[in-house]
């Protein structure tokens, strides 16, 4: 096999059968992405191939992480205006058109990530083979960055799949496994995890007769009337998840398809024009910032010298209530061996039933559900303590009980096991007071519902060892959560900033605003749910407990909450709180004052923003970026605004706060 080594990121090899093998191995990066330099080199490679045409071309990746994760979004931030962005998109169009027009048969050989620009490149090939492994993910995530596929992917996916299927894939930002991608039509051949992508790609080329190319389906033909009906239905679906004024990209895409969805070239032109405008808008800039914040949180989970040899394989959870049981279930779902302890089996059994419901909802097959169930074991006697790498306490909020428990756990636990409390109210320093090695204790503060909330606050007490904080971050990442290191202080970060927000909502109620109006005002600002619904969801008993600790002077707002708790109205879990709940949904009614929603929304958010400033001044988190990440992923703070501190900086709403 001959090899060409003149490129930095691409290597071109040619075998005895005259098949060209083009491998992408982006220099200095752990993941392949399509930077401008990578694309320019590909253009030069295609020129060489056109001069000396091979029998066929296979494009694959040398990275273990996968094929191509997409365009290099870091470069987007260096573009100064829509004209420059459009020129970059048009360059990619020209390049992928050139790949598609290559006279020899072309195959994309996919393992791991094939996302965004990577999938757009693959769609420009004649044939796609993918490895059937858990790591293979194929899709278009661009809508989460406030844009849509613009390197030809929108037009090519519509041509291949038809408008409805293609737009559903793009608008939902779903990442498909190999078999699902094959079922949809994105992939032509799926190779067993124990099979060979190399031979599957070779076979795809060898089977082609001279001059034959796989037929490219063209499903773009659709009448304007049909597109109008489908587009209207899609807009209705999108409106349930995202408002047009907050997230314009889905609506721009649907409107583009409605107008020119039967014309491939017009779709390409629309991609360049519309996506470049979106790319330069504030929404996309802020959503790209959120993506970078997400990557910062992931970086916190990378092991250091002191934790390089530590891994979380076995977890022991003490306390099988809603929080403890759901933490245990989630860990088992994510592949860990879990033992769940409580005083008697009758307390563990309900948690196991809830876990089975979760497994059936999340896993694809009965075999995987059975495997997950086998990983979660009732352990009333606490036999799992001695084997556990992570031990999490999730019992009731009582200092003496927690102190006694951790004294017993310390004696039985492995020397390098992580000891963690899920407390949200008691200082870690107090809980650790009775330990022989108090530095071992950290906090792992999960949020309810565990299966939906992406953040875990990794709490450092004044006594906590930094290596154990690192272990807490590594464990959080291992179970698919974002770790946020926070200082041990009342409310940590998330509960502390939520408390004044929810209490302000109670104040607005007292002034005569309707519950539906208050919730609508928060949603108008961009929150995923209003504060009244949030209180009901969290539980009024929990809200009262947190408020008394964090805002004891706000008696006026706390008293009505306490009265409802005393009457047994706990919110969603009891079927009634502020709202009546039926089938897990609140009966809200319509807002009574649509005109004042913007003003009320700003008023609701102001106490939250003020508390964020105070938390930063008190070093609850280490930076404004981490605070923004914590509040976005912990409270759902309007992602399109880029985070509370970023929003404050952009809007200049509040004065500086000094500790």
Q: 278 — alpha (psi -120 to 50), left (phi > 0) or beta?
A: alpha
The conformation of residue 209, written as its DSSP 8-state character, comes to: P
- Distance, in Å, from the CA atom of 407 to the CA atom of 249, rounded to the nearest integer, reads 54
- Distance, in Å, from the CA atom of 244 to the CA atom of 250, rounded to the nearest integer, reads 8
Q: Which of 9, 93, 111, 445 is catalytic?
A: 445
Cis omega (within 30 of 0) on the bond before 313? no
Q: Are the CB atoms for 436 and 410 separated by under 8 Å? A: yes
The number of C-alpha atoms within 13 Å of 430 and in the hemisphere containing its C-beta is 14
* Cα–Cα nearest to 475, from 334, 289, 372, 633: 334
112 Cβ contact list (under 8 Å, min separation 6)? 61, 63, 64, 65, 66, 67, 131, 133, 135, 136, 137
Alpha carbon distances (Å) from 552 to 384, 424, 543, 555, 559: 40, 16, 12, 7, 11
Which residues of 464-557 form beta strands (DSSP E)? 482-487
Residue whose token pair is 């929990």: 542
Cα dihedral across residues 260, 262, 267, 269: positive or negative: negative
* Cα–Cα nearest to 530, from 489, 487, 498: 498
Residue whose token pair is 């970060």: 493
Whether 445 is a known active-site residue: answer: yes
Virtual torsion, Cα 638, 241, 499, 402, nearest 10 deg = -110
- Distance, in Å, from the CA atom of 523 to the CA atom of 39, rounded to the nearest integer, reads 41
Cα dihedral across residues 348, 350, 356, 357: positive or negative: negative
Cα dihedral across residues 87, 90, 91, 92: positive or negative: positive
Alpha carbon distances (Å) from 378 to 309, 328, 342, 401: 28, 10, 9, 21
Task: Specify the 3-state DSSP secondary structure of 139.
Answer: strand
* Cα–Cα nearest to 573, from 546, 540, 531: 540
- Distance, in Å, from the CA atom of 40 to the CA atom of 173, rounded to the nearest integer, reads 28
Token readout for 54 is: 């091979």
* Cα–Cα nearest to 89, from 25, 162, 153: 153
Give the number of other CB atoms < 10 A from CB of residue 123.
24
Token readout for 86 is: 């459009």
- The residues carrying an active-site annotation are 445
């Amino acid at each position: 096999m001959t090899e060409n080594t003149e490129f930095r990121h691409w290597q071109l090899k040619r075998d005895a059968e005259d098949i060209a093998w083009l491998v992408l191995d982006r220099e200095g990066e752990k993941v392949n992405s399509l930077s401008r330099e990578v694309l320019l080199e590909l253009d030069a490679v295609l020129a060489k191939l056109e001069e000396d045409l091979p029998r066929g071309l296979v494009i694959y990746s040398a990275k273990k992480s996968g094929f191509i994760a997409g365009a290099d979004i870091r470069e987007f931030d260096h573009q100064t205006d829509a004209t420059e962005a459009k020129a970059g998109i048009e360059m990619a169009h020209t390049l992928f058109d050139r790949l598609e027009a290559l006279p020899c048969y072309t195959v994309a050989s996919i393992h791991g990530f094939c996302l965004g620009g990577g999938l757009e490149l693959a769609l420009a090939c004649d044939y796609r083979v993918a490895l059937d492994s858990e790591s293979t993910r194929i899709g278009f995530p661009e809508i989460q960055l406030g844009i849509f596929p613009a390197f030809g992917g929108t037009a090519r996916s519509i041509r291949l799949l038809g408008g409805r299927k293609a737009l559903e894939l793009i608008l939902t930002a779903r990442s498909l496994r190999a078999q699902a991608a094959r079922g949809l039509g994105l992939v032509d051949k799926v190779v067993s995890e124990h099979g060979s992508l190399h031979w599957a790609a070779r076979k795809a080329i060898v089977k082609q007769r001279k001059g034959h190319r796989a037929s490219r389906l063209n499903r773009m033909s659709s009448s304007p009337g049909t597109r109008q009906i489908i587009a209207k239905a899609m807009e209705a679906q999108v409106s349930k998840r995202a408002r047009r004024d907050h997230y314009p990209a889905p609506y721009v895409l649907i409107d583009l398809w409605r107008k020119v969805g039967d014309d491939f070239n017009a779709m390409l032109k629309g991609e360049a024009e519309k996506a470049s405008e979106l790319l330069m808008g504030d929404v996309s800039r802020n959503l790209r910032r959120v993506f970078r914040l997400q990557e910062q949180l992931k970086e916190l989970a990378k092991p250091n010298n002191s934790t390089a040899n530590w891994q979380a394989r076995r977890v022991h959870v003490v306390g099988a209530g809603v929080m403890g049981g759901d933490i245990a279930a989630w860990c088992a779902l994510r592949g860990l061996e879990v033992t769940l302890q409580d005083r008697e089996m009758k307390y563990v059994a309900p948690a196991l039933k809830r876990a089975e419901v979760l497994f059936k909802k999340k896993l694809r097959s009965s075999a995987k559900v059975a495997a997950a169930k086998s990983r979660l074991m009732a352990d009333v006697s606490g036999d799992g303590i001695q084997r556990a790498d992570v031990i999490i306490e999730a019992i009731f909020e009582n200092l003496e009980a927690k102190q006694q428990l951790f004294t017993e756990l310390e004696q039985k636990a492995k020397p390098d096991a992580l000891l963690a409390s899920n407390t949200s109210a008691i200082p870690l320093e107090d809980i650790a007071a009775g330990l022989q090695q108090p530095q071992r204790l950290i906090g792992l503060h999960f949020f309810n519902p565990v299966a939906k909330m992406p953040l875990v606050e990794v709490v450092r007490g004044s006594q906590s060892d930094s290596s154990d904080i690192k272990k807490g971050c590594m464990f959080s990442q291992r179970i698919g959560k974002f770790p946020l290191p926070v200082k041990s202080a009342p409310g940590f970060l998330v509960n502390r900033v939520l408390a004044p927000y929810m209490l302000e909502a109670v104040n607005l109620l007292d002034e005569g605003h309707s519950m539906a109006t208050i919730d609508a005002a928060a949603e108008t600002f961009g929150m995923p749910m209003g504060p009244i619904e949030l209180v009901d969801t969290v539980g009024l008993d929990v809200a009262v407990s947190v408020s008394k600790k964090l805002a004891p002077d706000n008696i006026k707002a706390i008293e009505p909450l306490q009265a409802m708790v005393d009457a047994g109205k706990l919110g969603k879990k009891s079927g009634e709180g502020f709202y009546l709940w039926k089938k897990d949904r609140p009966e809200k009614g319509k807002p009574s004052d649509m005109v004042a929603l913007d003003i009320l929304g700003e008023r609701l958010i102001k106490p939250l923003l003020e508390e964020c400033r105070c938390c930063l001044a008190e070093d609850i988190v280490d930076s404004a970026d981490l605070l923004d990440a914590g509040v976005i992923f912990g409270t759902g703070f309007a992602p399109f605004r880029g985070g509370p501190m970023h929003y404050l900086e952009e809007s200049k709403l509040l004065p500086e706060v000094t500790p």
